[in-house]
Amino acid sequence: MPAKIALADIRKSFPTAKGLLPVIAGIDLTVAEGEFVAIVGPSGCGKTTLLNIVAGFERPDQGQVIVDGTAHARPSPKGIVISQRGSVFPWLTVRQNLMFGLNGRHPDKKALADHYASVVGLTGFEKGYPHELSGGMLKRVELARALIVKPQILYMDEPLAALDALTGLQMRIELLRILAEERHTCLFITHNVEEAIQLADRIIVLAPRPTTVQATFDVPFPHPRRLSNPALVELKASILREFGL
């Protein structure tokens, strides 16, 4: 299968008062079309920086990001970022948020927006403002706003971390349901190992800063996955061992 995303020797440092702080020290990674890759790593190891580089919001000091065989430099609707803090526009209604990314000529933007609102289970809230919604519902808005532009890639930066445990679990199941319908390529950053195991086809463990790829785990289990499955329990133990736990 051809690589959808290919990272070659990505390196990045940030200038600080004490001189250059190396954050990423050479990462090579390929993600296949339609693959769901989860990246887990200790806090502050540079996961977000890596995602920003792949999505085109930051430039690496060295190395190359190749998407669909061409060097990728700028953010585009081809790959939409969903972050922990979220970026649903609070001054627009749910429907207006969903319509925001629809640039081209669409025969009926409103109907399309309402369709995607129903895909994420927000029917009845189209005219609501974000500050009237719960955290879980905001995530749904953000997800729907991304899905509506038919992105080939979803970049998710701890998208469920700010939710309470129950809502987080619910959203995992929702995410799997939606991804089963529209097979996006996903790069998913998390510090939650169980979340990674439940969602991903492959799990990349990053080393502490300056980060490199420390280990890779395939997760060849069909969905839905039960975390109590002995094979998954064993997988979780081996991933946690990478963190010294």
Partner 1 sequence: MLVAHKPKQIFASLAVAALLIAAWWIAVVASRSVIFPTPLQVVLGTVDLAREGTLWVHIGASLFRVGAGFLLAVVVGVPLGVLMGWVGGAYTVFNPLVQVLRPISPIAWIPIAILWFGVGDLSPIFLIFLSSVFPTVVQTVAAVHAIERRYIQAAENFGVSRYRLFLRVVLPAALPQIIVGLRVSLGVAWLVVVAAEMIALRSGLGYLIIDSRNAGNRYDLVVAGMVIIGLTGLLLDGAMRRLERLKAVRWRYAR
Please report how close the Cβ of residue 83 comes to partner 1 at its closest, in angstroms: 7
Position among 37, 39, 55, 153 found at the interface with partner 1 (CB under 8 A)? 55
Q: Could you say whether residue 98 binds partner 1 (CB under 8 A)? A: no
Distances (CA, A) of 181 to 40, 147, 207, 232: 25, 11, 34, 25
Q: Which is nearer to partner 1, 101 or 210 (CB)?
A: 101
Query: Which residue's CB is nearer to partner 1, number 101 or number 121?
Result: 101
Q: Which of 14, 28, 64, 87 binds partner 1 (CB under 8 A)?
A: 87
Q: Is 92 in the site for partner 1 (CB under 8 A)?
A: yes
Number of residues that bind partner 1 (CB under 8 A): 22
DSSP 67-92: ETTEE--S--TTEEEEESS----TTS
Q: Of the candidates 25, 49, 27, 47, which has an alpha carbon nearest to the alpha carbon of residue 38?
A: 47
Query: Of these, 6, 32, 66, 149, which contacts partner 1 (CB under 8 A)?
Result: 149
Residue 130 binds to partner 1 (criterion: CB under 8 A): yes
- 82 and 146 in contact (C-beta within 8 Å)? yes
Tokens standing for 9? Answer: 């020797």
Distance from chain centroid for Cα 25: 22
| Least Å from the CB of residue 169 to partner 1 | 25
Q: Does 80 engage in binding with partner 1 (CB under 8 A)?
A: yes
User: 53-80: b or e for each residue (b if 16 or more CB lie within 10 Å)?
Assistant: bbbbeeebeebebebeeeebeeeeeebb
Stretch that binds partner 1, among 29-37, 128-136, 189-197, 208-216 (CB under 8 A): 128-136
Contacting residue, 9, 20, 28, 57, with partner 1 by CB under 8 A: 57
Site for partner 1 in 103-122 (CB under 8 A): 103
How far, in Å, CA of 190 to CA of 28, rounded? 19
Residues forming contacts to partner 1 in the complex (CB under 8 A) are 55, 57, 75-77, 80-81, 83, 85-87, 89-92, 100-101, 103, 129-131, 149
